Structure 1
Amino acid sequence: MDWFLQNTEMIGRLTALHLFQAVIPLVLGVLIAIPLAQAARLHRGLGGFILGTSAILYTIPSLALFVLLPVILGTKVLDITNVIVALTIYAVALLVRSTVDALNSVDDDVRQAAAAMGYRPLRRFLAVDLPLSLPVLFAGLRVISVSNMSLVSVGALLGIDSLGRLFMDGLYRNFPTEIVVGIVLILLLALVLDLVLVLCQRLLTPWTRAARRTGPPLPLSTLEARTAGA
């Protein structure tokens, strides 16, 4: 406890860096994966390539990817950018498949009703398909958020600051307190981020709470209610 109180400034800085390196790839992964998943749904041949490539990318060992990225990016310097790019690649690799499943979970009757009401493809995707797919999409996001929190620590092996540095220092100095503090803080960050995602899902999908209270509404009624509120 004394060590923790004496090093709160360093621990706070490492915690902020760790959170930054975990959250930014999650946001970038969503922004990249959603259009890729939609393209995979609309074009069967392209979909096979996208899903196959994402599966291959996820099999690359994280440490190897961190080391290779400076060469690929042309920077030849190991820094926080390498961690963010690497974790974004992993996030996209996981999210593409889960986003395709999320979009496929939308009832075809809802899509047909939207088309009958004059929704063009892009508007239908943004106003109907994407919002109604959020419950499944957020389930994938919650898994990836936990994975990112863990993988950020790998960067410490290459000298990139994060809570993983506490693991390395604790190992070199034979000081278990640092290791325990690092583990506890990473677990807390993962729990907090998961809670934030749950709250965001509830805010963005209020109709799911109404459905639980009153029973599942007809798809067309759901669409009409959302259209009326737009």
Structure 2
Amino acid sequence: MILIGHRGLAGLAPENTPASFRTAAAHGLSMVEFDVRLSRDGVPLVFHDDTLERTTTGAGPVADHHWAAIAGLDAGSWFAPAFAAEKVPSLEQVLRLCLELGLAVNMEIKPDPGRETATAEAALALALGLWPDGAPPPVVSSFHSACLEAARRAAPHWPRGLLAERLPADWLGQARRLDASALHLDHRFLEAGQVANARAAGLAVRTYTVNDPVRAALLREWGVAAIFSDYPHSS
């Protein structure tokens, strides 16, 4: 079972910042997950929330701010004073850093309403231009089918993960329609039989966000392919 660092390694460094990805690599992780959304001027950036307040010195919706303004915010002090120099990174910066660190990538497309296709297309265009042919391609995941459809059109050879809190009733139909190779599900609502059914259908199951080693061990027994975690000891 693979341990995927959640938003870099969000338990030990401010999420989705360069420090978080460097921390993940320093703790021996081989893969990280992060969130991609667009600034007002259409720049793909790595940030989870739809507003700036929780993790930066800014305020208001991300989509209302130009990239130049977002790039100047402090994105680390909320976590600890030692991280005051951390900034919100662009997708380009994160992809280049992950390649430098040898980290595999799960890129979650996290659009604002009405920007599902635009966000996916912008993220995939940039990633396709940067990612070396010989490197394992990023996994592209999203809660939004329009994002996965756009990703399939842009990069049909890159793996896609159907992201949901609970296993949808029509999960197999959705996975087939989107040509997804995996289901990404909240571990709190996951059952052993669901994992077995997904695997029988040829789909990997990755589950989030697992910070309890006992729970992680059980998920491994069920055949879960990977867990997303904030802490390296949760595997």
Normalised by the size of structure 1, how large is the TM-score?
A: 0.25
**Larger strand proportion, structure 1 or 2?**
2
**Larger helix proportion, structure 1 or 2?**
1
| Structure ID, larger Rg | 1
